[in-house]
Chains A and B, each alone.
Chain A
């Protein structure tokens, strides 16, 4: 636990933080947000301290790490404080403070009363939830959160968990959800948008007859979200009765605004990169964005008429800290993600009415 810094009594966290700053006059305390990182996994709190060290290089924050062991019958809470410092421009040392809380037993009440008493006032709360959603994710929690970051690739029952997210969206005013799976597809979306800037490609879009998406089995959510984005952006109509799912692929049908039938397949391959390939084709045009399993580059191809564009752009890896930082640096309300959620949920077989009838315990 040494990596978490100095262990302090719960009642004196603030005083100890003040002392920490007074000891070091050379550093600047910078903060743009409260960042809470929450996990119910064993030992996660130590790994998360490393992640926060990485994140504070670019995003100044007050970090609050929360580790909970809910199976332990005994209720307890311990706290540690430390600061993550980085040299900027080789001279100024900029530091962000971190408070780590380890809780055991039933924790909902204490989480709110004790942990959230240490938020930096006026700054927004970004909450990074790691792993499966649990009953801790309730209105009492999400009503405090401005941005909620999760990774649906870690969920065993995405349909159920997304219903909870959707409910939070309806109930809480400022709650803005962000899925790491959505972030993983950002570079692909940007590349597709770039390729369709080409006027000929743009013209062919409504004549698309095939979409093929290949993902790693862990990242099927990213594949489905990507598909939802394509359909939603173009306003194409789903033909739900033509849907077919097999072990390794899901097949969907849509109709473009020109009445062309599009077959879309989302397939998985265990040796593939998280999002390995997206191909959109019409009789005259192929747009393909692909990435090899270990490649740092996204390859982009546009073939339209006699015109061919090929280019690569570097993309970040699948490292959680990098993905999280990519999320943060784009900011905003994530309106595009919100917009695709209903279409995406319909791919998961969830409809509006179901959302209010379910509860995770």
Chain B
């Protein structure tokens, strides 16, 4: 039964009251992202009344200790500040449950506590399990949930699971995880988080393409020369990240999930409708059409991996990748990767997508740029010097979210001189208020049963299939492509520039 008061009140699917159980609740993700997101939803009146939060982790804590730890961090990181009165009510919703992930008895006790909460609600209880633990525990948690019967629910209620990244480290492990998840929860109740999809600009890609009549007719190989997707970070392995990163690398950590998701939003066909499966059906078709770089030679031709050497970022001196804390001095893990990706569909035939991601680059920025073909070489193009650069449409994902279009214009004066000019739209200047955090949107969507912004099983597996060929050429072949290097604080290795050089292409300067 729908809540009649929700009709048209806000134009989105309706989130429903539930108990959110967070596994790994004493961790960084819970403190910095999940609780502040839930708190901000409460502050805006968007969190359904009756939502309860149960934190599950190993160390001993009372409810009070758990709440005050969360409060301390929330004061520092909450997007809309911290209001004591609102927090006081919010904190009453939060409880702590101490248990090991592998302890069957802990799940039995959890089931009892959830039952008590449900009883207060007249036996109706929706449950949202959020697995915010290291991936090595996913199996334990999911299987224990099943053994304790927590994956099933009463008629008219739901039980859903949210799984954090990384979702596997390769195709077999992702398939295994998917099997474990789907043995416990149905696919429709499984929400694989990719927080990039919760970002306002990522959602705007579809709006830009399909709500404006002027782009879609040009969005194909007749008019587009190539597309670049860049994710630059100006950080290295601070805060002990090296331990995790050195096992993962840039390709697994960022490209398999976030950047391939952005690529599929840019490249997909118009979906027949905006339902979760309508959109995801089209996205997965893109991933299925990626040309596979399945020999070491093809990988060497189309993918560049690199590590940074000692240099300066933001005026600060920094060490090389192999000298970083918790990184193997002999490591061949890539801190930078650049790929040429070909999508073998009618629309994209012959249009390369260049994707790059790197650590210790000059600045932090994620963007997509669509580079249009040059106009014919007659008229202005026939002038000496030609037209400077073609049209470029840029979608900035972070930090300065917005859209810009580069065009060519005449410089005023008697002579015919042409220069590129930029039309620029910034979210922050046009819409003064800040965008909500990705986790706010995603948590609300999962309470509403809307999986559009979450990755589906086949998407994850298709993405791994593409990534695995490259990883295997790097780590399992007898003639692995070399690891290039670049000075920290520069825009990556020369080899990555060479990847584009054909046809006079260049990486966009950010």
Contact = CB atoms under 8 A, between A and B. Distances in A.
10 contacts: A60-B432, A189-B5, A194-B45, A195-B49, A196-B5, A197-B17, A230-B5, A297-B85, A302-B50, A305-B122
Given A194-B47, A198-B49, A309-B50, A314 B3 contact: no
Contact of B48 (A89, A197, A235): A197
A312 B42 CA distance: 9
Given A198-B17, A199-B124, A32 B430 contact: yes
Given A197-B48, A336-B8, A92 B433 contact: no
A227 to B, nearest CB: 13
Contacts of A28: 426, 429
Contact of A202 (B3, B47, B433): B3
Interface string B85-99: 110011000000000
A265 interface: no
Nearest to A297: B85
Contacts of B120: 306-307
Contact of A313 (B10, B43, B428): B43
Interface residues of A, number: 50
A20 interface: no
Interface of A: 28, 30, 32, 57-60, 86, 88-89, 92, 94, 187, 189-200, 202-203, 205, 230, 233-235, 297, 300, 302, 304-307, 309-314, 329, 332, 335-336, 339
A89 B85 CA distance: 28
A314 B1 CA distance: 29
Contacts of A200: 121-122, 124
Contact of B4 (A199, A205, A310, A311): A205
Given A307-B122, A336-B9, A312 B17 contact: no
Nearest to A199: B124
A198 B430 contact: no
Which 3 A-B pairs have CB atoms at the shortest separation, nearest pair first?
Answer: A58-B432, A197-B48, A193-B5
Interface of chain B: mostly helix, strand, loop or mixed: loop
A58 B86 contact: no
B361 to A, nearest CB: 21
Interface of chain A: mostly helix, strand, loop or mixed: mixed
Interface residues of B, number: 40
B83 interface: yes
B432 A59 contact: yes
Contact of A312 (B1, B89, B124, B433): B89
Which of A197, A205, A307 is packed against the most chain B CB atoms within 10 Å?
A: A197
Interface in B3-55: 3-11, 14-17, 42-50
Interface in B57-91: 83, 85-86, 89-90
Contacts of B43: 313-314
A305 B50 CA distance: 14
A194 B8 contact: no
Which of B42, B43, B83, B89 is packed against the most chain A CB atoms within 10 Å?
A: B89
Contacts of B8: 335-336, 339
Contacts of A92: 429
A198 B121 CA distance: 8
Contacts of A305: 122
Contacts of B50: 197-198, 302, 309
